[in-house]
Chain A
Amino acid sequence: MPTIKEILNAIIQRVPGVVGVILIDIDGIPVEVAGRFDMNQEDLGALLATCYRSYEQVGHDMGQPLRSIIVEYNDLKLCQSSMPRGLLTIVAGKDSYLGMIRLEAKRAIEYLAQNMADTRNVRETLMQEHKFRWPDNQTIDDILSRIKNEYK
């Protein structure tokens, strides 16, 4: 099975005009990014998740589940789709085809959903892939000491 990164990269390769793809968790934490975004990923994740959940709430109040959001800027298009435990956002140039983007998003979500079907497995795989190490006590104590010392 392809990795999350490979799935995101495939979207960029297959759809002309796509400049970036980001997978965030439901809280906006960036899980994986491919391509280029001209803004901080943490900010981007927080904003995308909040926008999505605002529209989700509107849908909820109207008795409608939200499937995707399409946004058009002057020079960019943005397609945001929900999936189990996350949100997939594709950003493309203004001349790209929305139909293709939506189709690729749908296809990618099927793979991503399989990939992320078991949260525990995904967590462990990602931790291994990214060589996750628990911060040690010294690191934690250093953070506290630095914050305490910052304010004089």
Chain B
Amino acid sequence: MKIVNDRVYFKLLLFGSALAGKTTTLEWFFNHLIPQDMKVTDGIHSIKTSFGQTLLFDFVPIQASHNIIIRIYALTGQDYYLSTRRMFFEDVDGLFFVIDSQKKELTHNREFVKEFQSYCATIPELQKTTVVVLYNKQDLPDVESPEVLAAQLGLQKYPGLPVSAATGVNLSRAFTHMVSLMLNRLKEARVNDLQ
């Protein structure tokens, strides 16, 4: 959480392997969940590769109230652009870890858990970040359950939800849960500041 001028800024990331559904999740939030008058921009700002995948990030700022801005980034999942991802992990308030639940994606998911752990080891404040795991693509065949995936990936300590970014199942729950945790931190900060 940052206070700049008269505004409080939150930073929310969507992180996970390539084609896990980060951009689709962000699009669903933008198209189905974020009230029209909270949208600062007409659409999602994307920097894409020539073949249509996220190059640096997809970005949406939300003006939740006159002085609360939530900035949401969906990061690239391409291994090729690994070196650009780390810079987004500073001053993060909330992180959706998007897991591709298909059994064949386990190795990729493990690589991203390892990457996330390396960020946690080098960016101490990341330990305080609210993390919610989205076990995506639960609507597809041949997927693992969130419980099994959490155990396989060592993500049991984080709350998680079975979701489908394609159909929107549970995304509303996940988003409101995340926003409420972040805003509760704002309530705490306000109380501490006023004391």
Contacts and interface: CB of A to CB of B under 8 A. Distances in A.
Contacts of A1: none
Per DSSP, are chain A's interface residues mostly helix, strand or loop, or mixed?
A: helix
A49 to B, nearest CB: 8
Per DSSP, are chain B's interface residues mostly helix, strand or loop, or mixed?
A: mixed
How many chain B residues sit at the interface, stated as a range, is 35 or more
A103 interface: no
Contacts, number: 114
Given A127-B3, A135-B190, A140-B186, A150 B67 contact: no
B151 interface: no
Interface residues of A, number: 39
Given A42-B69, A134-B193, A144-B176, A150 B2 contact: no
A57 B65 contact: no
Given A47-B45, A139-B68, A144-B179, 15 more contacts: A42-B40, A42-B69, A57-B87, A123-B3, A129-B5, A130-B5, A130-B6, A131-B6, A142-B65, A143-B65, A143-B68, A147-B179, A148-B176, A150-B32, A151-B172
B34 interface: yes
A147 B35 contact: yes
A135 B186 contact: yes
A27 B33 contact: no
A40 interface: yes
Interface in A27-61: 27-32, 40, 42-43, 46-47, 50, 53-54, 57, 61
B2 A27 contact: yes
Nearest to A32: B5
A127 B35 contact: no
